[in-house]
């Protein structure tokens, strides 16, 4: 009792979790978070389109396509009709891929009220317009609160109710100070939080979005090097320097640099670069082993978000003159067909900077061209 913390009552004690939540997208990511809502006794509607998946969730309480064998709570219902899914909902988690986001968001706009909050969980940047997924959704939902959710989450562990943490970020609004317990960036984290799932609120939306897009490219880069046989020393270097690229781009886009040190940044990056079940690392690993892209994943048309983000991330970095050498290396390999060995040997031969960057020191590598030629050949 001596050191027991004393809980001081506050306005946040009155936070109301959402009563009914809809998850737009019944793929792997959507199905993963549905049990989390259901464990809060929240009526949970998955809005999917594939009849086989809808039937398997509603009749068997399993997603036979993406999470074979893992049981889902009976409170999780998959609905095909948008009005049915959104009818009683007072929040939404947006999980659909970028190619569907605009059309689906337009349908949501016609159904929900003016204060309806949505958290975009799909990570990445829409290629044609260079917009973050949140911006695509926000453009259609016309003034309604739209935020993002991200963090180090692997599907199987979350469905099995292993302890997991994530960040839910919404842009701060002037009215937030009046009744903080009614704001989306408080209510949505409370809604998602269970005995095993901890959701943290944030106001750094851009920082969380940058983290989610860049970490996928760093995971591809590390997968390539890992596929050639390199191990833990190299992985640590890629995570550390990849984190620096996250922070630099976030800062350039008026995000918060320190967001990179949180759950959506270094934590998610470390997880993605540590497990070959990540699609991004898995793609890089197969390419590093010498497979052609068409032969990766057994020739199946598997969508890899980091690969889709490559053009957008590097184009934004180039426009802002932000040095992102690892991401540029991935872009050179995936978009321009440059060899993995020569690309990473060139990456390793760059001048070294001081750490932190505030110390203005730079020096050329003392290694010779022969050294880097040998490194290139070893990577191959």
Lowest mean pLDDT among 147-156, 177-186, 206-215: 177-186
Q: Are 273 and 217 in contact, with CB atoms under 8 Å apart?
A: no
- CATH number corresponding to 207-379: 1.10.1040.10
The pLDDT assigned to 13 comes to: 56
> The pTM is what?
0.87
The answer to whether domain 14-203 and domain 207-379 are alike in fold is: no
A 10 A CB-CB count for 128 gives: 8
Q: How many other β-carbons are positioned within 10 Å of the β-carbon of residue 374?
A: 13
Distance between CA atoms of residues 296 and 66, nearest Å: 19
DSSP character at residue 117 = -
pLDDT surpasses 50 at 84: yes
CATH of 14-203, one of 3.90.25.10, 3.40.50.720, 1.10.357.10, 3.40.50.1820: 3.40.50.720
Checking if the pLDDT of 3 tops 50, the result is no
Task: Give catalytic status of residue 83 as yes or no.
Answer: no
Output the six-digit token pair for 13: 């004690």
Among 106-115, 300-309, 348-357, the minimum mean pLDDT is found in 348-357
Q: Locate the domains of the chain by residue range.
A: 14-203, 207-379
Q: What is the pLDDT averaged over residues 55-83?
A: 85
Q: Could you give the percent of the chain with pLDDT greater than 70?
A: 94
Identify the CA nearest to 310 among candidates 235, 234, 218.
218
Beta bridge partners of 132: 125
Tokens matching residue 3: 């050191």
Q: Which of 215, 216, 247, 300 is catalytic?
A: 215
Per the structure block, which two tokens stand in for 202?
A: 């944030």
Q: Which residue has the tokens 């009792």?
A: 1
Pairing of strands 91-94, 125-126: unpaired
Max Cα–Cα distance, the chain, nearest Å: 67
Residue 97 has pLDDT above 80, yes or no: no
CB 43 within 8 A of CB 20: yes
pLDDT digits (tens, 9 = 90+) for 254-266: 777 888 889 999 9
Q: Of 209, 221, 232, give the one whose Cα is nearest residue 281.
A: 221
SS3 of 279-304: HHHHHHHHHHCCCCHHHHHHHCCCCC
Using DSSP bridges, classify how beta strands 76-79 and 91-94 pair: parallel, antiparallel or unpaired.
unpaired
Rounded CA-CA distance 134/142 in Å is 12
**Which pLDDT does position 6 carry in this prediction?**
45
């Amino acid at each position: 009792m001596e050191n027991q913390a004393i809980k001081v009552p506050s306005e946040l004690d009155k936070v109301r979790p959402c009563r009914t939540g809809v998850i737009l997208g019944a793929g792997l990511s959507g199905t993963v978070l549905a049990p989390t809502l259901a464990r809060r006794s929240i009526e949970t509607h998955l809005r999917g389109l594939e009849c086989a998946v809808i039937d398997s969730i509603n009749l068997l309480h399993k997603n036979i396509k993406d999470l074979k064998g893992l049981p889902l709570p009976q409170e999780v219902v998959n609905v095909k009709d948008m009005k049915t899914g959104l009818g009683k909902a007072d929040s939404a988690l947006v999980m659909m891929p970028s190619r569907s986001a605009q059309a689906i968001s337009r349908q949501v706009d016609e159904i929900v009220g003016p204060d309806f909050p949505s958290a975009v969980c799909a990570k990445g940047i829409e290629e044609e317009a260079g917009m973050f997924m949140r911006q695509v959704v926000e453009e259609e939902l016309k003034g309604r609160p739209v935020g993002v959710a991200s963090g180090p989450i692997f599907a199987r562990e979350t469905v099995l109710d292993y302890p997991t943490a994530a960040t839910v970020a919404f842009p701060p609004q002037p009215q937030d100070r009046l009744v903080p317990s009614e704001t989306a960036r408080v209510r949505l984290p409370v809604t998602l939080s269970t005995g095993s799932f901890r959701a943290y609120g944030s106001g750094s939306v851009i920082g969380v979005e940058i983290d989610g897009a860049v970490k996928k490219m760093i995971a591809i880069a590390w997968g390539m090097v890992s596929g050639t046989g390199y191990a833990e020393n190299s992985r640590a270097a890629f995570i550390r320097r990849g984190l620096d690229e996250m922070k630099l781009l976030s800062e350039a886009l008026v995000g918060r640099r320190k967001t990179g040190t949180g759950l959506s940044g270094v934590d998610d990056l470390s997880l993605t670069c540590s497990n070959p079940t990540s699609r991004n690392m898995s793609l890089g690993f197969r390419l590093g082993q010498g497979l052609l892209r068409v032969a990766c994943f057994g020739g199946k048309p598997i969508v890899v978000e980091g690969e889709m983000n490559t053009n957008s991330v590097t184009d934004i970095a180039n426009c802002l003159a932000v040095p992102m050498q690892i991401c540029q290396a991935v872009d050179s390999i995936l978009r321009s067909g440059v060899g993995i060995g020569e690309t990473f040997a060139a990456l390793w031969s760059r001048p070294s900077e001081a750490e932190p960057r505030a110390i203005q020191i730079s020096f050329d590598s003392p290694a010779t061209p022969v050294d880097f030629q040998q490194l290139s050949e070893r990577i191959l």
